[in-house]
Amino acid sequence: MSVHLHNSDFTNISIRKILIDGNFRIGIYFEYNDQIKQKVKDFGARWNKALRCWHIDYTPEAYNEFRRVFPAHTVITDSASSKSSPAPGLKNNHDTAPTAESNSEIPHPGDASGHNPHKADDKNGFGVEYISTTGKYWVVKIPYKEQLSKGLKAIKGVYWNGSYKAWMAFRHVSVKQRVEALLGTQGLLPDNYWTNTVPEKAEEKIVVEVHEPDRRMMQVRLPRVSSVIQIVKRFAGSRYSKSQECYLLPSNPQVYENLVKIAADYSFAIENKLPDAYLNKRYTPSRRKVEMALTMEKVRNLTPPAARDFVDAFTDLLLATNKSANTIKTYVHAFVSFLRFTGYRDPAGIERKEIVKYLGNMILQGFSPSAANNCVNALNIYYSEVLLIPHFELKLPRPKKEHRLPVIITQDECIAIFDNVSNPKHKMVLMLAYGTGLRRSELVNLKWEDILFDEYKIHVRSGKGKKDRMVMLPYSAVAALQSYRELYKSNLYVFEGQYKGEPYSAQSVATVMQRAVQAAGLEKKATVHTLRHAFATHLLEAGTDLRFIQALLGHSSIKTTTIYTHLTKKGVDKIESPLDKLMKEHKNSGKSDGIV
């Protein structure tokens, strides 16, 4: 199901000249709207959390593209901005859109004056706004205030949704009362409380139809419920078809079962218009293919029109050389940032001193040395392999990396973490993280076929750097893992997600660890990766050869593994501080007067 936007929907879109990281940008403001949000993302707009707006390049090309999509917008002219150069495309009165004069800070998205008719002002002067009802939740926008955020997080049933950039409040009378009391806005939330038996609209249903162009896919039309749409978008192989105005999903039985489950969870009807034998197990999508498709979509959204020719040539080369999805995202992001700094000029004509200036500017802006090194790597690949400059090497002074020791937890602290997890799946994933040293991504993508019970080994496929390796399967975990398999009957992934055939979310694993650390009362900032560090450190303390640890962790260089030699407690315990030795000798001599 799709909603077409008309010109009347654009009247609440405003733009203004803003400054980000020392560069002028065109800020875009509007009330929360999924369709408008997607349209601004389509022509390369990016979100700025600090200014709470979307923004595009401050160029005539970018402005003309924006004006083509949103012809009836409002231009806000600040007194500070008006003293400098006018907005691109607005020179010589080329724009006929109305102009609002304003001397205030960034206005509320939705009105040139900053006023929103649906916004309520509470007793403390905070502006809050009820947006919509989504599934089990009310969506509420609240300007950031530290005390308000802490208060909202303390209310059970209320959480921050990063995708919506809004607060989600469970539709219950007690939640309504507590939220309105905190915000001082009586009557802000409606009385449409959630019940698990009656759908909000009786006519809402999920419709599944044949996709004639490619019968490996099926057309799925969804109700306009954002939470349902977000679930379906995360399915492997899911994509939206603008021409068909529906989602296209792989036509295999498992995906259809998941749609039936969603319909049951939300009390929707499901209308199956597929002929017999249309669904086929062979149409299970390749996760690598899906991952690369999502990566390329993110790259396209990141790339502004002025940089597309350069970025397309760069991504083609990265794909042809079989770079991983993460490497492509990292290098393209670094390359686009560099192009933005140079005004999207042809990189072939940019001199070395300008590249060095950009790297220096990155450090001044607070970027990490790793980010600067990624930029150097990306530029080296572009100049030597895309532009085919013979024997090219960008010999630049590499920013010195900051070597920080990772957080390490003791064996007693590991036990305390495990003891504070009651859910069998949650406990098993954390125990395997510590017992095998697997990365979080390797854990969630672990399949039952990779567990070699007879050999007490785990086959890690396509780990970091696309390398396979064998790691130990702890003897103590075998019985627990087999019992877990009986409890959670999944055929593919060891840790299956909410829906069949989908792996467990990596973010969910991180949340499990965070809650366990808090429940254990640990003050250390421990994450799932901390369990990997603990695995290596405790092996080294037990006398395991460093080369074996390198192989188990999947490190390509022994230098990466040697960091754990700085963390072993037993080696440090054997060393006596010279101060301790001095004070001991001084005390034995009987001359301790005047020394603490």
The per-residue pLDDT for 184 is 80
The rounded Cα 46 to chain-centroid distance in angstroms is 14
Tokens standing for 67?
């004006």
Give the residue numbers spanning the domain of 65. 7-102
The pair phi, psi for residue 23, each rounded to 5°, is: -120, 140
Q: Please tell me the predicted confidence (pLDDT) of residue 400.
A: 58
Residue 483 maps to a domain: yes
Q: Is residue 170 part of a domain?
A: yes
Q: Is the domain of 426 the same as that of 490?
A: yes
Same domain flag for 42 and 163: no
424/510 same-domain check:
yes
Q: How far is CA 37 from CA 40, 109, 121, 280, in A?
A: 5, 12, 26, 35
Query: Quick one: pLDDT at residue 515?
Result: 92
Both 273 and 300 in one domain: the answer is no
The verdict on 83 and 159 lying in the same domain is: no
Q: How far apart are CA 134 and CA 228, in angstroms?
A: 9
- Indicate whether 235 and 163 sit together in one domain: no
Residues 6 or more apart whose CB falls under 8 angstroms from that of 89 comprise 60, 63, 64, 67, 95
The answer to whether the CB of 500 falls within 8 A of the CB of 257 is: yes
- What is the number of structural domains in the chain? 5
Q: Please say if 500 is a catalytic residue.
A: no
Beta bridge partners of 127: 121
Three-state DSSP at 299 gives helix
Nearby residues of 555 by Cβ (< 8 Å), 6 or more positions away: 561
Annotation says 4 is catalytic:
no
Catalytic residue list contains 532: yes
Considering the domain architecture, whether residues 227 and 373 belong to the same structural domain is answered as no
In a domain, 391, yes or no: no
pLDDT tens by residue, the chain, 596 residues? 333 444 445 547 888 888 877 678 888 888 777 778 888 887 788 888 777 888 888 888 788 888 888 887 888 775 434 333 433 433 333 333 333 333 333 333 333 333 343 444 444 445 678 888 877 888 888 877 778 888 888 898 898 887 667 888 999 988 998 888 888 888 888 888 887 644 444 468 999 999 988 888 999 999 988 888 888 887 877 888 888 889 998 998 888 988 988 888 888 899 999 998 899 888 876 667 767 777 787 788 778 888 888 989 998 998 888 888 888 888 998 898 888 888 888 888 888 788 888 878 877 777 777 787 888 888 888 888 888 877 777 665 555 555 677 788 888 999 999 999 888 889 999 999 998 999 998 998 898 899 998 888 899 887 776 778 888 888 888 888 888 888 887 778 888 877 677 788 888 899 999 999 999 998 888 999 999 988 988 888 888 888 888 888 888 888 778 877 766 655 555 556 676 666 777 677 766 555 55
In the block, tokens 């200014």 appear at 51
Q: Is residue 404 part of a domain?
A: no
Looking up tokens 């999502």 gives 294
Same domain for 474 and 549?
A: yes
Question: Does the annotation mark 564 as catalytic?
Answer: yes
Q: Is 591 part of any domain?
A: no
pLDDT at 97: 34
Euclidean distance between CA atoms 94 and 88, whole angstroms: 10
Task: Check: pTM over 0.75? Answer yes or no.
Answer: no
DSSP 577: P
423 and 346, same domain (yes or no): no
Question: Is the same domain home to 558 and 425?
Answer: yes
Q: Taking the mean position of all CA atoms in its chain, how far away is CA 121? A: 32
Instruction: Judge whether 594 lies within some domain.
Output: no
Catalytic residue among 73, 171, 425, 439: 439
Give the relative orientation of helices 528-541 and 424-436 as an angle to the nearest 10 degrees: 40
Question: Which of 536, 556, 374 has the alpha carbon at shortest distance from 467?
Answer: 556
What pLDDT is recorded for position 219? 94
For the stretch 116-148, pLDDT in tens is 434 444 444 456 788 888 778 888 888 777 788
Out of 464, 469, 485, 500, the active site residue is 464
The CATH number of whichever domain residue 347 belongs to comes to 1.10.150.130
Do 401 and 373 form a contact (C-beta atoms < 8 A)?
A: yes
- State the CB neighbour count (10 A cutoff) for residue 521: 9
Dist. CA 75–CA 100, nearest whole Å: 6
496 shares a domain with 534: yes
Residue 497 within any structural domain of the chain: yes
Residue 280 and residue 300 in one domain:
no
Say what the pLDDT of residue 209 is: 94
Asked if residue 194 belongs to a domain, the reply is no
